[in-house]
Every structure is written in structure tokens, then in C-alpha cells.
């Protein structure tokens, strides 16, 4: 924020300039002028938001300067100083929008308080104006508008308009098992998407709310028409990797509502895509058929798998359901939610019939079961329901087979819920309120294997689920199940499964 001190007395200018803590107030730049003419020139060139001015000055007096600065140069607050206590001066000052009329000698504490109040009011007015501006932009995007209205809203008078534009809707991905990733702030998004020296001066953010950013990319020249995709890819790389962009076709300003709709439609297609970054509307196959997720779901066969504790068969049945959603290029979140609900209900029915303590399992895993079921990709939905079923199936195994102590049951639940994180024997022992040495001893005694071996078995079983997908990438699967050393993952997988992850993914199982 900038401020101008205009007074024909040097000791006043110097005194105010050096005896007020401008940095503390949030003032970045302080200009000074010895008369009204110099002050108006500074207002014209630098447009300070706040002006402190003497009323009586050569050339242009303080009242005239205030009027010109407010009406012509965007001054927001003006404080007039005078050695004359005249009502007419004060009356006129108030009529043209002057904040305050102070008598000399100036009380610095009073002036500092007045400046702090003025700055706070400016910031509040700016926030409110920005909210209104973004609301107007959103209304234009959703409902359209006259060309002149769109132009006035997005571009300053006399500013060059682009020949073509694309609209880009960016949203943060909600990924199962990914914790603690904050959304990019509006200021950070502005900085990252429009970084200087990146040939991206043609990008402007239209609005940002919660987890969503909408920006406009100008396509003005022939070279930009050829390279706008690379420009947007480059911009997206500046954001964190857990964001996806839906990009519209090219159009002009008058088509902005249609372009916004296209960008939002493109973004829906991230549901079935593997690690999407940019999805371009003009590359999509828009011939979508309605999907009935339960059409091929054999509930009786699925119940039988649960009752007979056929874990792998159950996992394969769930995976087959999601494969159909990938094949159909599902873009409707209601479809995987409906599928997960049906699977969950089938498991619940069997658990209740067998007398499993479902309430106890739910209570021990509240974070997993109580969150709203909404992810960005089908892979997250599948991993969530697979883990959900595994936890409940473990309860049935405990009931029908070996009885575990409450400590080990809680530990198993904890491992099932956090296997994709860098958990250790120590962190798991802390989660069940036991010492590491005691926990290690009873874990091996009850489970038949040590903690690390059991954790590896769980991670490899989850890895096998992911590797069955046709587009599986081994190093990504390794990280998704908690192995951050690819070589170690390969070694453990081969020891447990008898073949390398790549061979399993190709369906060879080491047989060639």
C-alpha cells in the first residue's frame, strides 16, 4: 500500500516520514511532495491509496488535491492537516470524502490510530469488492451475458482483448489414503500459475473457492494457438501433483459460458483416468451410455465368498465390477458410490447373521467409515471398498477361527487402515497403548509371524489388487501400498508371490 505526504513545510514532511512506523502499519511506499502540483503528479503516476495533505499549499490547495485524487486517481482515504480551525473547510472536506480534518501541530498517536483505521477499512472494502467481483464473474460463467458486460467485467477499458481463449477448471483430487494435503491458496495459485519468465502472462485467475480454481488462458497469436496446450501443462506443473485441470475448446469472449461448461465436463472424466493432469474437452469421446453398476453384480455369489472366507475371490469379484466402470469410461460419481454401498450392505448382512461385532469394528475405525464417500478416481473407490470388506471379513475370521486378544484385534484394524503409510512396530504399539517390546512379543505369539512380515503380507495382497489393472505401473503400485523403495518392494513381492510384480501384472506369474 502507498501513501503520499503533501505539505509545503519541510519539517512537517520529514517529521511524519520518519516518526511513524509505516512498515508496522502495512505501508510499503511513502511519497512526499512540497506543493499541490507535485502532489498531483505523484497521484497521477503512482496512485497512492492514502493521502495526508496540508490544506494551504502553493499551486493546488489540499481540498482541490483531495477532490482530484479521489475522483481521478483512485485515492481511497485523505487526511487534511491545517493550522486553521475553520468550519467551512471541514464541511467541504467531508463532502468530498476526506476521512479526517486534523489541526496542527499534529498528534502523532492520533494520526497513527487514524491511519490504522483507514488501512483496515481499505482492506475490508477490497475484500468485499473482490467477493462481489467474483460473484459477478461466476454468474457470467454459469449463465452467460452480453459481450459488453463480459468485456467490462474481465478487462480494463482500453485493454487489448484476446482473439481466442480457453477456460480451465482446476480441482484438487480427493485420493483414498492421502492425508494432510492442503489446498493451494488463492495467492499461491496466482503466483504459481502466472509465474514471470514462464511465457504465461496470458493466464488470469477468474475465481477460486474451496478446492477449485478457474482460470482463463488467452490464445492471441498463431504461435499460442499451436502451443496453448503446452502452456497449460506447464502451468499445471507449478501446482502440486494432486490437482487436475479440465480444459475447454478454443472460443472467444462471447462464448465464455459454453467454454466454462466444457471445462467442467472435461473435469468429470478424471474419474476413470489414471493420474490425470490435463483433460482436454476436444479430445473426449462424449458418447456416454447410462451405466447400471449392479447389473452384473451377483449378490448371492458374493455372499457365498464372504461366508466361506474366500478373500481372494471376493477381491476379484469387486475388481471385476470396477473394471466394467473403467471400460464404460464412467464419469458419474453416483455410480461407484452405488456400487460400494451395495457391496458394503452385502457384507453387513452376512456379518449380522454370523453375529460379528460390527459396532466394535466401526468404532475402532471411525476415521475410515464415517468420512463422506467421495473420491476423484475409481481406483480410490475400489481401494476403499476392498479395505472396508477386508476389515469386516477379519471380524468374521476372528469369530469363526482363532480368537485374538483385544490388543491384537485393534492392531490388525490399525494396520489395515494405515498400511499405505510409513507405519512401524513402534507406531502401531503406540496406537494400541502398549510398549514396543511387549507388543512385538504378543503379536508374533498370536499371529504366528512377526510384525514386519505381517505388514508386508498385507501390502503385497493390496499390491496384487492394483497390479490386476490393465494400466498398472509397478513403481506407482509400490508407493500406493506403502513401499517407498522400489527394489525392496520387488524383492518382497517375489519372495511372497514367487514372481516379480511385472510378471504378475502381465499375468505370466513367472511362467514363460
Place 191 in a pLDDT band, splitting at 50, 70 and 90. Answer: low
Closest CA to 13 of 37, 48, 44, 39: 39
Rounded to whole angstroms, the Cα distance separating 300 from 322 reads: 18
Confidence band, pLDDT 50/70/90 cuts, at residue 243: confident
Say what the pLDDT of residue 511 is. Answer: 40
Residues 27 and 119 in one domain: yes
Residues 377 and 293 reside in one and the same domain = yes
**Most confident listed range (130-139, 227-236, 300-309, 334-343):** 334-343
Q: What is the mean pLDDT of residues 264-282?
A: 88
- Predicted pLDDT at 429: 93
Task: Check whether residue 12 and residue 100 sit in a common domain.
Answer: yes
Mean pLDDT of 370-379: 80
- Asked if omega into 105 is within 30° of 0 (cis), the reply is yes
- My answer on whether 80 and 56 are in the same domain is yes
Outline where 252-327 has alpha helix (H). Answer: 256-268, 299-307, 311-327
The predicted pLDDT at position 352 comes to 78
Which class for 336: exposed (0-12), middle (13-18), buried (19 or more C-beta within 10 A)? buried
* Mean predicted confidence (pLDDT) in 481-485: 89
Chain segment 85-118, per-residue pLDDT in tens: 655 665 566 666 666 777 778 888 888 988 998 8
103 and 30 housed in the same domain: yes
Quick check: 188 pLDDT over 80? no
Average pLDDT across the chain, whole number? 81
160 occurs within a structural domain: yes
Claim to verify: residue 233 and residue 298 sit in the same structural domain: no
Question: Measured on CA atoms in the order 50, 52, 55, 60, is the torsion positive or negative?
Answer: negative
Per-position DSSP letters for 91-149, written without gaps between them = HHHHHTT-SEEEESSP-HHHHHHHHHHHHHHHHHHHHHHHHHHHHHHHHHHHH---HHH
Quick one: pLDDT at residue 198? 47
Query: Which residue range is the domain that position 338 belongs to?
Result: 288-403
210 and 293 inside one domain: no
180: CATH: 3.30.70.270
pTM here is 0.62
More confident residue, 290 or 494: 494
Examine the fold and report which residue of 355, 371, 403 is the final residue of a domain before the chain moves on: 403
**Interval 410-441: pLDDT, tens:** 888 788 888 889 899 999 999 989 999 989 99
Roughly what angle, to the nearest 10 degrees, separates helices 147-154 and 108-143?
150
Residues of the chain by 3-state class (helix, strand, coil), percent to 5? 55, 10, 30
Torsion of CA 377, 381, 384, 389, to 10 degrees: -160
Q: What is the pLDDT of residue 510?
A: 42
Answer yes or no: is pLDDT of 63 > 90.
no
Same domain, 92 and 161: no
pLDDT digits (tens, 9 = 90+) for 286-304: 776 677 777 778 888 888 7
Q: How many domains does the chain have?
A: 3
Amino acid at each position: 500500500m502507498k501513501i503520499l505526504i503533501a505539505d509545503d513545510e519541510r519539517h512537517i514532511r520529514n517529521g511524519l516520514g520518519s516518526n511513524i512506523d509505516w512498515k508496522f502499519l502495512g505501508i510499503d511506499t511513502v511519497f512526499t511532495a512540497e506543493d499541490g502540483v507535485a502532489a498531483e503528479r505523484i497521484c497521477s503516476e503512482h496512485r497512492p491509496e492514502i493521502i495526508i495533505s496540508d490544506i494551504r499549499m502553493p499551486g493546488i490547495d489540499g481540498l482541490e488535491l483531495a477532490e482530484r485524487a479521489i475522483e481521478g486517481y483512485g485515492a481511497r482515504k485523505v487526511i487534511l492537516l491545517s493550522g486553521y480551525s475553520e468550519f467551512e473547510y471541514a464541511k467541504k472536506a467531508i463532502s468530498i470524502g476526506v476521512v479526517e480534518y486534523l489541526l496542527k501541530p499534529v498528534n502523532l498517536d492520533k494520526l497513527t490510530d487514524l491511519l490504522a483505521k483507514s488501512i483496515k477499512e481499505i482492506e475490508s472494502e477490497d475484500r468485499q469488492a473482490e467477493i462481489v467481483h467474483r460473484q459477478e464473474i461466476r454468474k457470467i460463467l454459469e449463465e452467460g451475458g452480453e459481450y459488453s458486460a463480459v468485456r467490462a467485467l474481465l478487462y480494463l477499458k482500453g485493454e487489448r482483448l484476446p482473439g481466442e481463449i480457453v477456460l480451465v477448471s482446476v480441482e484438487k483430487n480427493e485420493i483414498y489414503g492421502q492425508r494432510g494435503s492442503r489446498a493451494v491458496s488463492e495467492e499461491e495459485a496466482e503466483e504459481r500459475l502466472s509465474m514471470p519468465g514462464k511465457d504465461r502472462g496470458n493466464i488470469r485467475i477468474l475465481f477460486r473457492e474451496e478446492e477449485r480454481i478457474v482460470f482463463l488462458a488467452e490464445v492471441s497469436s498463431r504461435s499460442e494457438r499451436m502451443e496453448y496446450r503446452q502452456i497449460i501443462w506447464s502451468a499445471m506443473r507449478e501446482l502440486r501433483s494432486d490437482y487436475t485441470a479440465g480444459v475447454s475448446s478454443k472460443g472467444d469472449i462471447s462464448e465464455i459460458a459454453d467454454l466454462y461448461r466444457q471445462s467442467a465436463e472435461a473435469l468429470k472424466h478424471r474419474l476413470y483416468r489414471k493420474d490425470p493432469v490435463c483433460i482436454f474437452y476436444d479430445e473426449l469421446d462424449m458418447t456416454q451410455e447410462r451405466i447400471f453398476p449392479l447389473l452384473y453384480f451377483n449378490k448371492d455369489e458374493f455372499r457365498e465368498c464372504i461366508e466361506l472366507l474366500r478373500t481372494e475371490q471376493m477381491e476379484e469379484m469387486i475388481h471385476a465390477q470396477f473394471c466394467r466402470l473403467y471400460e464404460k469410461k464412467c464419469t458419474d460419481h453416483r455410480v461407484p458410490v452405488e456400487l460400494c454401498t451395495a457391496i458394503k450392505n452385502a457384507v453387513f448382512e452376512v456379518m449380522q447373521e454370523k453375529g460379528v461385532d460390527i459396532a466394535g469394528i466401526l468404532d475402532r475405525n471411525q476415521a475410515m467409515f464415517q468420512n463422506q464417500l467421495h473420491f476423484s478416481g475409481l481406483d480410490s473407490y475400489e481401494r476403499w471398498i476392498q479395505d472396508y470388506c477386508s476389515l469386516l471379513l477379519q471380524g468374521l475370521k476372528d469369530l469363526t477361527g482363532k480368537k485374538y486378544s483385544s490388543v491384537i484385534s485393534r492392531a490388525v484394524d490399525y494396520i489395515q487402515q494405515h498400511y499405505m503409510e510409513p507405519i512401524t512396530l513402534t507406531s502401531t504399539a503406540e496406537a494400541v497403548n502398549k510398549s514396543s517390546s511387549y507388543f512385538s512379543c504378543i503379536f508374533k505369539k498370536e499371529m504366528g509371524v512377526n510384525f514386519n512380515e505381517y505388514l508386508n503380507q498385507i501390502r503385497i495382497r493390496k499390491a496384487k489388487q492394483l497390479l490386476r489393472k490393465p494400466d498398472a505401473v509397478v513403481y506407482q503400485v509400490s508407493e500406493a501400498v506403502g513401499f517407498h523403495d522400489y527394489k525392496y518392494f520387488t524383492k518382497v513381492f517375489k519372495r511372497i508371490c514367487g514372481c516379480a510384480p511385472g510378471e504378475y501384472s502381465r499375468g505370466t506369474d513367472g511362467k514363460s
